Structure 1
Amino acid sequence: MRLNDLDERIVHALAADARRSYADIGSVVGLSAPAVKRRVDRLRAEGAITGFTVRVDPAALGWETEGFIEIYCRRKTSPEAIQRGLERLPEVVSASTVTGEADAIAQVFAADMRHFEQVLERIAGEPYVERTKSVLVLSPLLRRYSGLAETGSGARR
């Protein structure tokens, strides 16, 4: 499904703050609150909006160490097998298959270096994993939680 410009602006407003009122969003995009609600309901029904959530600073949970783990798999490992192995670990906050040498990459938050090492060991111990390579984040430079960047009218990603 492709969003039109108006729907895209509504989605951006919700992505920035999902608790915004329909009236507030309407004032930004030039619609009434009921019109915004109808569009949001339609976007949910069509699957463009998959849910609403809260963003929690991992440090508030005591998880102050962040890193990425590249995963190199044995032959014929399916993405589903990698997903099943990683989704059991609450420290893994995102994971994707990737191009390049690695088969997948996982973003991990942990309490400290020892905790990160334990997560790394658990991932490396999965039967489909041949080897891993990890990097630690020193300072996050940019985070876009919605996965959408404001690009101006009509620009596409």
Structure 2
Amino acid sequence: MQALHENARISFAELARRVNLSAPAVADRVEKLERAGVITGYHAAVDPARIGYPIQCLIELTAKHLDYFAVIEEVRSMHQIVECFSVTGSTGLMVRVVVDSMPSLQALIARLMQFGDTKTSIVIDMPVTPRLPPLPGGE
């Protein structure tokens, strides 16, 4: 699964070679993982800076309790928000945003502030890129 996570475009033949199985056996295992919901999709990794969004931030949003579901709907409609997590603690929501400029960030923060308090942290580096947790059985 690690090889598939690193390169979702790898052929079953190449994947089979790496794990010492036949291509049909690998295809069968991948299909089972998809059906079980372990593999939920295949995605291209895109560098936001290369498509015009050089600024990445994490914004904590402490949404007013009664407005929570309305806030979620608003957040879903904001294209600058690329991830949103509902978290424990006083924050409520943690969003990752990408913007093209500081004025765009300022406008986004102002829009979010109508729903509650915000705390913004600008991402300067990503020392750990998205990765899989250790797999059971060392597969």
Superposition CA RMSD, Å: 1.9
The residue identity in structure 1 corresponding to 2:126 is P
Deviation for aligned residue 1:130: 2.0
Q: TM-score, normalised by structure 2?
A: 0.88
Distance 1:83 1:75, change over 3 A: closer
Aligned residues: 138
Q: Structure 2 matches for 1:1-157, cutoff 5 A?
A: 11-78=1-68, 80-125=69-114, 129-144=115-130, 147-149=131-133, 151=134, 154=137
Secondary structure, counterpart of 1:134 in structure 2: strand
Deviation for aligned residue 1:69: 0.6
The Cα offsets for residues 48-102 of structure 1, whole Å up to 9 and x where unpaired, read as 2111111111011110001111001112444x44432211111111111112221
Distance 1:13 1:82, change over 3 A: farther
Secondary structure, counterpart of 1:31 in structure 2: coil
The Cα offsets for residues 96-121 of structure 1, whole Å up to 9 and x where unpaired, read as 11122211110011112111112212
The residue identity in structure 2 corresponding to 1:154 is G
Q: Share of identical aligned residues, percent?
A: 29
Tell me what 1:4 maps to: none
Secondary structure, counterpart of 1:34 in structure 2: helix
Deviation for aligned residue 1:43: 1.6
Deviation for aligned residue 1:133: 1.1
Deviation for aligned residue 1:154: 3.5
Greater share of residues in helix = 2
Rounded to whole Å, the distance in 1 between the matches of 2:103 and 2:71 is 23
Secondary structure, counterpart of 2:21 in structure 1: coil
Rounded to whole Å, the distance in 1 between the matches of 2:132 and 2:66 is 33
Secondary structure, counterpart of 1:44 in structure 2: helix
Deviation for aligned residue 1:34: 0.9
Name stretches of at least 5 consecutive residues in structure 2 with no aligned partner: none
